[in-house]
Amino acid sequence: MADASQSSEACVPLLNATLVPAPDQVVVRLTGDADLSTAPFVADVLTQAGSLGTRQVVVDLGSARFWDCSGLHALARFTRELTVAGRACRIVGAQRETRRLIGMANLAGDLQLDGLPTAPARRVTSTGRTPLREPVAVADGLVAAGHR
């Protein structure tokens, strides 16, 4: 397991990456805040993962928050490069806000997302009102909550 992190100043978002290689795939876990300043770090980590030569790279975004689409564009470029080479990149754990940003950046067709969101059932409290914050249900029994 390899660790990498990016942070040089207090105003720069902290973004960490962990690479977990396996025989047929490597998992890249991104944790923290991603924005324009961390996009080169995201690209470098993805390049490291791709250099391991596995058939598939799985990118776990469950603990990452994207404040703009620059890191997602790096992920889309990486995905296209792997596809051309006959390999695959799969995205798991993307939170609702990240999925929304992917859609707004017109990247949904470029990224292979797992656990597509389903419409959550509306819950009504004893007061007859719908709660303000609800978990977002996603396919395959996974649940993701909104950003803090």
Mean pLDDT of the 12-31 span: 91
Supply 123's token pair: 């819950």
Please report which confidence band the pLDDT of residue 127 belongs to, taking 50, 70 and 90 as the band edges.
low
Number of H helices, E strands in the chain: 3, 8
Please check the confidence at residue 132 and state whether its pLDDT lies above 90.
no
- The pLDDT of 127-145, averaged and rounded, is 40
Torsion sign, CA atoms 121, 127, 128, 129: negative
* pLDDT of residue 101 exceeding 80: yes
Calculate what percentage of the chain has a pLDDT beyond 90.
Answer: 66
Q: Which of 52, 68, 125 lies closest to 102, judged by CA?
A: 68
